[in-house]
Structure 1
């Protein structure tokens, strides 16, 4: 049946100077509609244009229109809008994305009109908001004057994305493609961050992510996962490969099971075609998708967000660089909060360790003057850079600082430690900063599955001080006697600090840990000490009693031998009590030979590393 469209807008009958007008944003800005308003704006002044992130040609924010429009944005984006904010011609209003709609409903930002971009109506008269439901739907529902650009390029999306033609007061028909944002190339830095983040994602988890190199790299490394779900404020091109790989089934979701849930999409034409009439992807208003209690209804909710800088207590700066506002709060806090109260949830902040060609550290002793905290130190569970994963939940300021220094760029670690020592955030005896083991390569974390349990092999580091102390006190007297050849009674924090503060480029210390969320326990430690005068090293290891006989010591020793060989060390030695048969057996299985000893209670073993160099 034929659907009658509303008349074209007579702007002077619909609007007046000083009114507040909402403009649909993201990739679906109604450019032709705005241009029609500009072309017919004679006599108008001081119209407040309210919107979120607006991509493409944000012409209304140009200097030439400063008398006609005053821009008020919830998220700074686009060259013209950013320039207008920087020059004081436009306003930035910080607000959680989940709460923007309340500004419309309670009259804080009461709307006089709404401009949106919609698909042509179907046979029943319903138009779709397509790729940008987000705060557009809330604006439509809380304003009596709705003006639309009807555009055949707007996809029809499932969920709560529909506006009936009878709800439109005026419209124009103008077809123009949605703004495309092509996936950025993934560099080595983003690859490494993506690999680390992917390690934190278990099969069956539900994901939230943003746009850029890091989310793209992360989703790339999730393609071999199983039964993932998506509940994310936005979708990008990266989800196409993830869904087509079979990794996303949404079957384990505990909120909207079987469906990918989102509120807007930004990407290429391929993405817009992918969501068009796709019944498996549902779009809802941001007030619903981003509501923390709704997010938390998904068990194992993984929220992956980025930052501009993170201080050593875990405070996250995400919308400003010093005094200069750069972007917006968006949905970061919504999803960090929701994931933190989700059963098994993990809020993750992922960012490069440096900026400006490695001249500036993004891990900082204190946030830059003028910058604002978007996500508090109490909400962050993980911070990930290309140098690893810092686990912060339940950690003291001392432990947080050491964890974050460990994932900072190596050339900034000494300075960061020096700065926090000034404030006594770390004790006076903490003198060494964390170092990496070069021979482990770019990824300093290796996932192990041992008898069905997941563990991680990684370098021991200063943040492990308390964990090593707990590991020591877990040992029986027999284990301590066999390892140390006497029965030590105490492992002080200072002694533990000395044992975990290793110059990994000279010596080497590895551990195998079990990690459940932010709960980390050391189950085995292996190390060698280097003796430069002989170009030799001495190896030792110890395993928690509950995991002895599972091959952990074997894995550690094999890795230590490999590191020593790569360093060109000639000999590896070990001194073992004669009654410690299991340990002797492990060394001998790796080619160690016994040396004659005058002390029958001890066995000296030596491996000639030159034989296979």
Structure 2
């Protein structure tokens, strides 16, 4: 059968495609931008009709534009939802359900680079629904913005149902699936979710400027999500010969490529290529991704594996946190008594960057939260430890930076108090004495 005939034979409506998913299925949806809206809506209709029971849906950073139907609070009793990393939709649903009897979205705590193994080996996911680019002349679809865990699931023998969207960029790298491996395909043209960059304030800019001074020309960058990493990118415009090896490709990193600051000429792994595992942002980012040979997407078990990250000399990772305790441990996922995000890839890059020759791992945060009423540097964490104190390298606030490596607990506490907001330093000093750190 020719490639075109295979395509035609597997093409169907979204309703017919989701009808192939049996009761008790373990389904995973594409991450973020690749969460397929037509398939999600049809899946929600099937669940509401009682035609799909005892199923589990795994998702990560599900955007409301695509996922609201299947993640609607009223479906919680009919399909179990498990998040691999909470986004705004999960947070909003959990807030809505607080105090009620409907089930919250569960969280699977797992480092990003281990998610493919968790899905295929420990959970045994049997169905992947995801958005892909149109097929190329050789019968391959690109996973586009989201290779991450999707490629491993697609190659595991799971049922592969794809939503072919002309708006999804065709991306190069290890991110292709062949039409012969597809169970069903649905054509659906829709704009990709737009995730605007958060506005930056003076504190973000101050932190960005501090971090930029630590970046050498020729360094290899990983930037996390948020205003602080964006501020770092803006402060790096005077640098040269930078490289990119990052889980997330963001508009801030793309601006460095377009300005010639990033050319990947000094990279020791994947030289000449900007490497990422997922991308999200605005329409210009998606257009920049399309058929761009200077960019490569690779699966997250490669991009985020600490021993792979460490093969890039002068690796510099920048991630944000919600709290740092006086010993240097970081809670980056839990706030106000609720799950806020997830484990993600922070620890992957903390460990990988520090293991790199000349590498630095940086965790940044504002010194305060809640309009200055709460210190982010605290005696004890209010949530789980996302990055253990044994792994933390450099902590940055708008008041400076503190290197945790080689410091005793007392030395760490003093260094962190010095970069806390001045309004909280006396209280933190007393707390350190109560903890018997001094």
1:407 to 391, 405, 419: 419
Cα contact 1:308–1:321 (8 A) shared by 2 = yes
Structure 1 partner of 2:33: 27
Deviations 1:139-181 (A, max 9, x none): 2111331001010000000101111111111111101111111
User: For the residues of structure 1 that align with 2:315 and 2:135, how far apart are their CA atoms?
Assistant: 36
Residue 76 of structure 1 contacts residue 82 of structure 1 at CA under 8 Å; is this kept in 2?
A: no
> Is 2:390 the counterpart of 1:384?
no
CA contact (8 A) 2:63 2:89 kept: no
Q: How does 1:73-152 map to 2 (within 5 A)?
A: 73-80=83-90, 82-84=92-94, 87=98, 88-106=103-121, 108-152=122-166
Q: Does 1:68 align with 2:78?
A: yes
Separation in structure 2 between the aligned mates of residue 374 and residue 319 of structure 1, nearest angstrom: 7
Distance 1:253 1:139 in 2: 29
Is this contact kept in 1: 2:333–2:340, CA < 8 A? yes
Q: Retained in 2: the 8 A contact 1:157–1:278?
A: yes
User: Does the Cα contact within 8 Å between 1:146 and 1:169 map onto a contact in 2?
Assistant: yes
Deviations 1:218-275 (A, max 9, x none): 0111111111110000111112221122211111111111111000111000000011
Match of 1:183 in 2: 197
Match of 2:241 in 1: 227
Match of 1:332 among 346, 356, 372: 346
Aligned counterpart, 2:11: 7
Shift of 1:2: 7.0
Superposed CA RMSD in Å reads: 1.6
Match runs of 1:312-351 below 5 Å: 312-321=326-335, 323-351=337-365
Give the number of aligned pairs.
423
- Do the aligned partners of residues 81 and 365 (structure 1) sit closer, same or farther apart at CA in structure 2, a change above 3 Å counting? closer
* Structure 1 position 12, deviation (Å): 7.2
> Which structure exhibits the higher relative contact order, with contacts defined as CA atoms closer than 8 Å and separated by 6 or more residues?
2
* 1:475-534 Cα shifts (integer Å, max 9, x gaps): xxxxxxxxxxxxxxxxxxxxxxxxxxxxxxxxxxxxxxxxxxxxxxxxxxxxxxxxxxxx
| SS state at 2:396 partner | strand
1:52 pairs, out of 57, 60, 69, with 60
Query: In the aligned structure 1, how far is the partner of 2:164 from the partner of 2:19?
Result: 20
Shift of 1:63: 2.2
Alignment partners' CA distance in 2, 1:275 and 1:163: 18
Superposition deviation, residue 40 in structure 1 = 3.7
Shift of 1:13: 5.4
Task: Flag the structure with larger Rg.
Answer: 1
For the residue of structure 1 that corresponds to 2:162, the secondary structure is strand
Task: Report matched runs for 1:148-547 at 5 Å.
Answer: 148-321=162-335, 323-368=337-382, 371-426=383-438
In the alignment, the residues of structure 1 paired with residue 384 and residue 314 of structure 2 have an alpha-carbon distance, to the nearest angstrom, of 29
TM-score of the aligned structures, taking structure 2 as reference length:
0.93
Provide closer, same or farther for how the CA distance between residues 319 and 148 of structure 1 changes in structure 2, counting only shifts above 3 A: same
Q: C-alpha distance in 1, partners of 2:135/2:388?
A: 44
Change in CA separation of 1:96 and 1:217 when aligned onto 2, cut-off 3 Å:
same
Normalised to the residue count of structure 1, the TM-score between the two structures is 0.67
SS in 2 for 1:34: helix
The more displaced of 148-157 and 73-82 is: 73-82
Residue 78 of structure 1: how far off its partner (Å): 2.7
5+ residue gaps, structure 1, are: 427-613
